[in-house]
Structure formats: C-alpha cells, structure tokens
Amino acid sequence: MSVLGTLIGLLILISIAIYLFIEWQYRQRPGNDLELTATDWNLDTFEPAHYAISLDTIFTNRTRTLEIFVPEVTVDYQLLSSGSTEGIAVKTEVIPQHEDFPARPDSYWFAYIVKTGKSTQAKIKVDLTGADLTLLKSLWLKVNYITYGPEGRIPKTGHLIVPLKFPKPEAANNWRENSVAQVLPVPTHLLTNLDDTIEIVKHYVKPYAQPGDIVTIGETPVAIMQGRLRHPDTVNPGWLAKRLCYYFMPTSSLATACGMQTLIDVSGPWQVAYAFAVGAVAKVFGKPGMFYQLAGEQARLIDDVTGTLPPFDQFIVLGPAHSQRLVDQIYQETGLKAAIVDVNDLKAVKILAATANTDQRLIVQALIDNPAGNADEQTPVVLIRPKA
C-alpha cells in the first residue's frame, strides 16, 4: 500500500510539474502579436471645405516562430472640434498594399498571412467635406483589425491621431521675462504619435532661437510622439494590479487596475511587488515614497486617463524613453541645448534629461511658474533665453 501511495504521489507531482511547465511555456509565447503603426501621413488637400488625408501604415508580426493572419481591417473615427461637427461628411478607405497581392478595385480586404518576423502595409485614406472645416482640431482614427493565430480570433485596435489645426507663425511671439531669463512658450499643432520630436524643434523653435538658448519640452508630449501610450482596452489587469491599486490615493495614476498593470508590464511583477512590500513597511516607520523609488522610473511618470489633452485623455501615457539620447540628438541636429521636463502649477519642476553642461538650476528657475501651462494652451515647448 505504501508503494502504491508513493507511486500515486509521484504521478501527482509529475502531473503538476508538467502542468506548470506547459503553463510557463504558454506565458512565454507572444500569441497573436501583430502591431499596427503609421510610417507617414499627408494632408493631400487642405481647403476650408475639403480635407483629404492619407496615411501609410504597417502591420508587423513581432513573433519569432508564428504566422499571424489578418482577415479583417476597418476604420472608425472621432472628430475633435471647437464647434459642432454636424454636416461634416467623412469617408474612410483602407487599401491593402501587400507585396505579393495587388489591391482589389473594390478595396476589399482579403485575409492575408503575415509571416514570421515580416510585415505588410496598407494605405488609409480619409476624405472630409463640409461647409467650414476650419474649426476642426484633430481626427482620431481607430483602426480595428482582426488577428487570427495561435490564440484564436482576437480583435485589436490601432490608434492614429491626425492634427487638423496649425498655429500661425505670429502666435509664437509672446516672450515673458523673469529674474533669470526670457521665456517663450511655443505654440504647436496637437502633437501626436505621428510626429517626431526633433522635426518639431526644427519647425517651431529654430526660427526664434539664438545661440545660447535652451529648448525645453514636456515629458508627456515627448512620450506621445514616441508612441508610448496605451488605450485601456489593450491592458489586461492581472491579480497583482487589481489588488495593489486600492492602496494608492485616488489622484494617483496607479490607483486604477489598468494604470497599475501598465507599470507592472514595464517594471515586472516582482519589482512592483517588492517595491510595494518595502514601501509599506517604510511608510509605517515614517518614510513615505519608497515605493516610487523602488518600482522603477515609470512609477512617477505614468499618466492615467484624463492626464493630458483630448483625445489623449482617453489613454494611459508612459514616460518618455531614452530621454538623454533624445536631448543629445536635438543638440547635434539643431545646435540648441535641450531638456525634457515635467512641470506643474504647484511650482514643481523635474528635469528628466538635459544636454551636457546645461545650467539645470537656471531651467528650474525659468520654469517655476509653468509658462507652458497645464490646460489647453497647446504650448508644449518653451524656449529659454538666459539673461547675460
């Protein structure tokens, strides 16, 4: 009987081990990992009663060993305007541009296989007509596509936001003066995941800059331009996120399951759990803030929904990536010293990265009154001209 009991025990242990191994392997596999991004966009027509927009997009299979099917692609849209959108007609079209299959005359999207590590392309066209389109601010395109693969048939959505309002050149002539510098909040169009930070500096800031000036850019606009944003629909909160989020203040970006899960996805569950445990103990002994020191840089930088301008108020926005590399590139390509900053109306200025030999104390003093604003000023860039 003891031998039989031992065998049964071994079989149970072996079964558990096999189950855990299979489950571990399953969690390591990427599943239907097909990502949509835009590579270019154009305003082909920009007249008061007619806008024609075209975007080049790419579907990339990010798995190493799996083929992913794309059987369906459709486009929804949301117009953002300072006035009514009634009477505006919108027509969307998705034109497949597969390397080995010509597009059909009727623009029908036929099921297509994206091979391992490969990609395929599509052009999206949007035509807007109306009596007066000049009040439109931006166009939010929701590209809905079906992925068909090892995890079955899974719907996904790619979000592309096109600016439709652009500041006039004379708008950037509002220099202000404080004790250490002159500062110029620079108006831009709504910066989106279709923009490039260096090109924005060249286009909007360079015409007003002089040698010795410092260009500062808000960390959230930089992150948005880098595509570091996630719609809550794409976040799947796990056990840890659903429980830890209850311990944070309601105003914290980590006080929702999706916000917390976004941090876990970046920093890893073990680091976040460790930071929470140590932070809880430290708080009992009168040392608050340890969680944010231990959970990784993104713990302080993540903005949950409502954290920025529409339509990005519907997204979770992470902090920017490779900040030091970016400010160095700005200096190399424009000759301007640069800094990426996080500034608010509470006279708090945090510098995430700055060009070498930049006077960071001067930046803090110049930005202490938050000249960029925290509302809808749409001046994410501030040019600082130090006093002699």
- The full set of domain ranges for the chain reads 34-163, 169-227+319-386, 229-317
At residue 28, the pLDDT reads 62
Global pTM?
0.87
CB 103 within 8 A of CB 95: yes
At residue 26, the pLDDT reads 65
How far is 297 from 247, CA to CA, in rounded Å? 19
User: How many angstroms separate the Cα of 367 from the Cα of each of 140, 157, 244, 262, 351?
Assistant: 32, 38, 34, 29, 11
* Length of the chain counted residue by residue: 388
Is 21's pLDDT higher than 80?
no
In the chain, pLDDT over 90 holds for what percent of residues? 69
CATH code reported for the domain at 34-163: 2.60.40
Residues 139-192 have pLDDT tens digits of: 999 999 999 988 889 999 999 999 999 987 666 678 888 888 899 999 999 999
Going by pLDDT thresholds of 50, 70 and 90, the confidence category of residue 307 is confident
At residue 25, the pLDDT reads 67
| Residue 274, Cβ density class (10 Å: 0-12 exposed, 13-18 middle, ≥19 buried) | middle
Other residues' Cβ atoms within 10 Å of the Cβ of residue 64:
10
Residue ranges of alpha helices (H) inside the chain are: 2-28, 197-200, 219-225, 239-244, 257-267, 269-284, 290-294, 298-301, 323-334, 360-367
At residue 27, the pLDDT reads 63
Is 2's pLDDT higher than 90?
no
At residue 99, the pLDDT reads 82
At residue 284, the pLDDT reads 87
Going by pLDDT thresholds of 50, 70 and 90, the confidence category of residue 245 is very high
Lowest mean pLDDT among 44-53, 165-174, 246-255: 165-174
Is 388's pLDDT higher than 80?
no
At residue 205, the pLDDT reads 92
Q: Is 67 in a helix, a strand, or coil? A: coil
CB 192 within 8 A of CB 221: no
Q: Which class is domain 169-227+319-386?
A: alpha beta
